Structure 1
Amino acid sequence: MTATAEVASPADTPESHRPSRWHVWALVAICVVAGVLYVWAIGSGQIGNAYYSAAAKSMSTSFTNFLFGSFDPAGVVTVDKPPMALWPQAVAVWLFGFHGWAVLLPQVIEGVAAVFLLHRTVRLWADEKVALLAALILALTPITVAINRDNNPDTLLVLLLVAAAYAFTRSVRADGSRKWLLWCAFFLGCGFLTKMLQAWIVVPAFALAYLVGVSTPVKRRILDLLAAAAVLVASSFWWVALHAWWPGSKPYIGGSTDGGAWDLIIGYNGLGRVFGGDGNRGGSGPPPEMEFAGPGGGAMFGGQPGITRMFDASVGGQISWLLPLCLVVLAAVSVAGVLRWRAKAPGNPAERAGWFMWGGWLLVTAAVFSFAQGIFHPYYTTMLAPAVAAISAAGIVMFWRAKSFVRFLLPLTVAITAVWAFVVVSRDTSFHGWTRWATIGVAVVAVVVLLLGLRRVGLVAALVAVLLTPAVWSTATAARASNNGVMPAAGPIDRAGGGFIYRNGQPPPNGMQPPAGMQPPGGMRNRGPMIGGPGGMRGELTDEQKRILKYAKENSGGAEITLAVDGSAQAASPFIMGSDEVVIGMGGFSGSDNAPSVDQLQSWVSEGKLKFVLGGGERGGPRGGRGDHGRQEWIQQHCSTVDPSAYGGSTETLLECHA
């Protein structure tokens, strides 16, 4: 076998696709490890992202709320994402009642399913050993562990993308099976209904991989891709069309400017994420009088846009551990492919398709994330994890099996990976700083043993060297059982979030918050005011909030809406999660949506459907400023302050409204 062939093929022999008994038990063990990491202590007071958890509870109360993803039980405004990721959570809440574990358990199941399905996918492309290693790498990816213990949409997105990769691999292995290609497009469309255009980032990689990975006539390949495009569009936009044409009452689409899903797709959750813009400020940073006291200095949560973003202080510890290894593998495979093409040597189209798919997935997604000017959070990078796992596993096994000079690539990549782990850990040695020296020590042993030709021992040492630190970070993340549902992250707690402070180091005054989309994680120990109120991240109400809700209920005269909370959705979340009353948040996630509108408020009050509004206090959202749509002015004109002594208030302001 030539050096070119050695690099280009991750598989060994056709028989290597057949699992032995130890392969089966190894996969079971990996899935069990993944499940333990994802499920450990998720019932210890955690509620995930309060915004989505409140929505899951509201969605469990009516079909319309469920279908459109309503944040509040009254069906006023949806979350600022499509609802597919919340559907399993809402079903769990409907079946088991509202508990933290009920909200988070579907995420655990989806995360383990992604590990299992990645194994089946890579096994079709490469072989059993590569597939097992890929599954292990995905299970131990720090940000994947963090996000699978939370209820953000990214967990389901990853599962659906891996499902698409599985269907795609089946298609090219059958030399252009249209049925499986259409299934691939369907799963990508479901990904769109999970996190909109983010799911489409990988579409160019899949399309190109299909063109180069099957041997059918070019016309047939193009027709197949056109058919897949039709399925992709249909499976992506049916929900958008359903909302637009729904004959009855329907909630306002949160995050949009006109209440429709299409605006959300193109704007806030689409091109706005890539190019920035009003309400979608990312690396551009906070207002000049404030700064972000967290990773990346004065930048937004994901650091400054640029080619190094995947490696910076905010993101590096989440996903970058094996990125240098992946780049070496892709470079080696590219060189081998060019040499094979120039030599006109025969190749395996299905293998080639796999390299284009996984490599394109990794490179295109990393490029979009790196240069995105809009809102970008480090946990988005869990979308890279399946590609990182597949490429890393295939590369390690290929380099290990090589018998020419290519075999030196394995000790080289082990050394590079260990050095990079040393750099990342050195940024904050208070968090298991010992791993940097342990990794270097094991890497030295691995390099020496590999160079001496002790291949099996060298492979074991190499795997320990490249996976030791990510495994420790993942385990520590699971053991920490963090309540940081808004900004899940692995590693040092200081890197998991932050807060906004004045540049002189003082906290902002009460009521001053970052602009829409730039709020720090609620419930964390921020240097600025806490969003959602005490206990909000645990789905609990404070004693004062309980008294407010009781007073509003007893004096509402049977109003359909017990309480409307003026401010961001984070302020209303505790009331929705901690009670069975109909409570709405005015203005959606950031408080800037035109829902409810002033006319709707006026109609509710006139018809006796709403009597009390909760305003004031330290909560997010506009306070009669940008994006208020006149609600604050209407409240000032039509609502009067209730004497705090009537409900035992001290920090919250309850208002009674009149027509």
Structure 2
Amino acid sequence: MTTHHDPPATPRSDTGGWVPPRTAPERRPGPAGPRQPLPGRLWRGRPEDPRWVRPAFLGLLAATLLLYLHNLSASGYANSFYSAAVQAGSTSWKAFFFGSLDAGNAITVDKPPASLWPMELSVRVFGLRSWAILAPEVLMGVATVAVVYAAVRRRFSPVAGLTAGAVLALTPVAALMFRFNNPDAMLALLMAVACYLVVRAVEDGRTRWLVWAGLAIGFAFLAKTLQAFLILPPLAIVYAVCAPVPWRKRFGQLAAATLALVVAGGWWVAVVELWPASSRPYIGGSQHNSFLELTFGYNGLGRLNGDETGSMGGGGGGNGAGRWGETGWDRMFGSETGGQVSWLLPAALILLAAGLVATRKLRRTSVTRASFLVWGGSLLMTMAVFSYMAGIFHQYYTVALAPYLAAVTGMGAGLLWERRRRPWASITLAVSVVAAAAWGYVLLNRTPDYLPWLKWLVLTGGLVAAFGLVFAGRITRRLALGAAAVGLVAALAGPTAYTLSTLQEGHTGSIVTAGPAGASMMGGPGGGPGGGGVRGGFGGAMPSRQGQQGGQGQQGQQGGLGGPGAGFPGAGGPGGGMPGGSQQNGNGPSQMQPGQQGRPGGPNGNGFPGGGTGEGGMGGSGGLLNGASVSAEARRLLEKNAARYTWVAASVGSQNAAGYQLATGDPVMAIGGFNGTDPSPTLAQFKKYVAEGKIHYFIAGGGAGPGGGSGSGTASRISSWVQSNFQKVTAGSATFYDLTQKASG
């Protein structure tokens, strides 16, 4: 029943209720009137939309773009591991294709190269600088917001689409990773595109949409391997059940989509596997120079069961504390991860359940229900895997959840709002607002010194809004809209504050988190039970803001890579920092980019960026997370006669090599790959390179990995051979060995 406050309504069988005509009809809309010129269509949007809709959408995209571009260069080279690969790919097409860490093509990064390609093309055009590397990631973030808006808007109201887009843009981990050079930005974009395309396929049963979805997931595989396949089960099941075509055709279409996926993701794999190993770079992260081994081992099943050969060690299953944090059903809500992504997760789960209940009696081919199943199924599937994976897990992985969570929130809120005259719908909508506000209060209370007044504002605003929403179907539309607006502000206030805090700081290294200091406490490798917490698990005092804070670990929390007597086997120094470090206690200078000031680490071996490493060393464990800082003297030494050599230097561990490569712009060989544990090059190969005059210097003290400061056995043998046979050279505080000068005596 409508009132004079609402526009005329028309029935729609898909939702089972009365909805305003602005909601997309179940059938495919046909052309409306003469086709306008492109500028007019871009500004006006759908002819049936109110005039404010398209400007509001464009405003959302513009605001997201400006927000994410703010202070972008503060992160410098961000993750120097990938930035070094970008630098290499911008100067060598072979490095571009294979994803090599260096232009000499000694070894690749431990992922496929698709996520590097946009950054490498940008650097080819604009030169090697921070914004040229990170701006493509920002554009991917804006594109993801646009895709989520389009998906929700197509089936629900414009406000629902705008809400979903805003939720995504203001999720702290999204604001972090869409400004960072890890593969996760491309992965999140392509997964959102795949969900959108599958819903389009359910809408009209056309094969092309499903094939495009397969292509998107296949290309996502080339960004982050098997993580791209996490949402395949819900997408395939939803289409198989809900598509409006005969079942034989459905399975034929799924087969075509699978073929598209295999082609999109498999062409590069086939080339790499068939390419002679002697003329391509070693596959970083593998133990036998095989990308398939890397895919199904270190980057595949190893992430689930913790059996990751060559890594720093896995985690624990069940509800125990693992080396990569606690696993269990509540992992996404815990102190390690909650502040990154879970702000609206309780509300989203309530809205998802409500959406499925509301559409339970609709026909099999209902697109509205299929939308909830596609986005909600992707959310639940990814949550489940993240919650129980016992291998390497970092908080920033949760950016993969952000598009699904945002879409479910927008869809659920939109559906319940249209049905608000029904008591169950208005009450459920109110409950979701209370859940968001209460959980926001809990998360804000975990950082009690950060805006202490905000948690009370969030809680109070949420309760007031919920009271109004309970009666949303019986009060005037203006009052109901006011209550909804207050509820939205209360729900988004916490994540917005964390997002703004994230944007104000630079983020460097391999492990980064969003929000203010102390927002994420995570036990790292070696942390285990009792070693938990970001500040206690790694290096005795891992900063929760990379490159921003060192400080001491939590009282009574030792372990990880730097509490007294802790660290990897063989770890030394009073703080148990990684051996081979140039600083006694692992408290080297910051490894941040020029112009960024890090704080020194505390006395227990803290050594992550900002609690950093010394030149060429691995003080604490910082070199494992970010490239070494390089002095002007060291840079001049390496740049002298650099053109004569394939590699100006070699160093154990990719991060240490990356720091020198970015400083000089010349290739630096990473012995042993990221952790120093890959058997590449062998001692015989390294001797051959030296005899042929391809490497000028060996950088001392670049160890990384569970075996101690020299990385793997292969890296250790190379280090010992170099130190016994070649002349030592000092530049600044770093030590080198000149591989063209034999040691005297």
TM-score, L = length of structure 2: 0.78
Alpha-carbon separation, structure 2, partners of 1:171 and 1:98: 41
Q: 1:116-155: per-residue Cα shift (whole Å, max 9, x none)?
A: 1211122223232211111111111111001111111110
* Aligned Cα root-mean-square deviation (Å): 3.0
Q: Where does residue 529 of structure 1 map in the other structure?
A: 607
Within the candidate set 449, 469, 493, 1:468 is matched to 493
Contact 2:465–2:487 under 8 Å retained in 1: yes
Which residue is equivalent to 1:478? 503
Letter of the structure 2 residue corresponding to residue 16 of structure 1:
T
Structure (1 or 2) with the greater helix fraction = 1
| 1:292 corresponding residue in structure 2 | none
The residue matched to 1:494 in structure 2 has which SS? coil
Higher relative contact order (CA 8 A, sep 6+): 1
Q: 1:282 to 1:308 in 2, by over 3 A?
A: farther
Structure 1 equivalent of residue 400 of structure 2: 383
- Residue matched to 1:147: 177
Amino acid at match of 1:355: F
Report the CA distance between 1:351 and its aligned residue: 1.6
Structure 1 unaligned segments of length 5 or more: list them: 286-295, 514-520
State which of 455, 465, 469 in structure 2 corresponds to 1:446: 465
1:188-587 correspondence runs (5 A): 188-247=217-276, 249-277=279-307, 278-280=309-311, 284=315, 299-301=322-324, 303-338=325-360, 340=361, 346=363, 349-402=366-419, 403-406=421-424, 407-452=426-471, 453=475, 454-479=479-504, 481-495=505-519, 498=535, 499-501=538-540, 503=559, 507-509=575-577, 511=579, 527-530=605-608, 533=613, 541-550=630-639, 553-554=640-641, 558-565=644-651, 567-587=652-672
CA contact (8 A) 1:613 1:657 kept: no
The residue that corresponds to 2:527 in the other structure is none
Q: Give deviations 1:571-626, integer Å, cap 9, x for gaps.
A: 11111111132321111111111222222112112222224211226x53467778
- Select the residue among 675, 687, 691 that pairs with 1:602: 687
Task: Say if 1:7 and 1:444 are closer, same or farther in 2 by CA, change over 3 A.
Answer: farther
- What is the number of equivalent residue pairs in this alignment? 628
User: 1:297 offset after TM fit, Å?
Assistant: 12
How far apart in 1 are the matches of 2:482 and 2:132? 44
Matched AA of 2:329? I
- Whether 1:656 and 2:739 are equivalent positions in the alignment is yes
- Describe how 1:49-198 pairs up with structure 2 within 5 A: 49-174=79-204, 176-198=205-227
- SS of 1:170's equivalent? helix
Q: Distance in 1 between matches of 2:643 and 2:463?
A: 75
Q: Name the CA distance, whole Å, in 1 between partners of 2:454 and 2:695.
A: 58
Q: So what's the TM-score if we normalise by structure 1?
A: 0.88
SS in 1 for 2:283: coil
Is the partner of 1:43 in helix, strand or coil?
helix
8 Å Cα contact 2:354-2:412 kept in structure 1: no
Structure 1, 522-531 or 426-435: larger mean CA deviation? 522-531
Quote the offset at 1:459 in angstroms.
Answer: 1.0
Cα shift at 1:464: 0.9
Amino acid at match of 1:226: A
Kept in 2, the 8 Å contact 1:431–1:491? The answer is no
- State the identity as a percent: 33
CA deviation map 1:517-562 (0-9, x unaligned): xxxx975765433478459858962234325425xx45x8933322
**Compared CA separation, residues 638 and 414, structure 1 to 2 (3 A):** closer
1:16 counterpart residue number: 23
State the shift of 1:180 in Å: 0.9
8 A contact 1:7–1:332 mirrored in 2: no
1:588 partner SS: coil
Checking the alignment, whether the CA contact within 8 Å between 1:522 and 1:570 is kept in structure 2 is: no
What is the identity, as a one-letter code, of the residue corresponding to 1:390?
A
Q: Which moved more, 1:226-235 or 1:307-316?
A: 226-235
The alignment partner of 1:563 has SS state of: strand
Report the CA distance between 1:643 and its aligned residue. Answer: 6.2
Q: Distance in 2 between matches of 1:589 and 1:177?
A: 44
The 8 Å contact of residues 356 and 372 in structure 2, kept in 1 or not, is answered as no
Structure 2 counterpart of 1:313, which letter? S
Residues 49 and 484 of structure 1 are in contact (CA less than 8 Å); yes or no, is this contact kept in structure 2? yes
Structure 1 window deviating more from structure 2 (238-247 vs 540-549): it is 540-549
Question: Partners of 1:44 and 1:534 in 2: how far apart?
Answer: 21
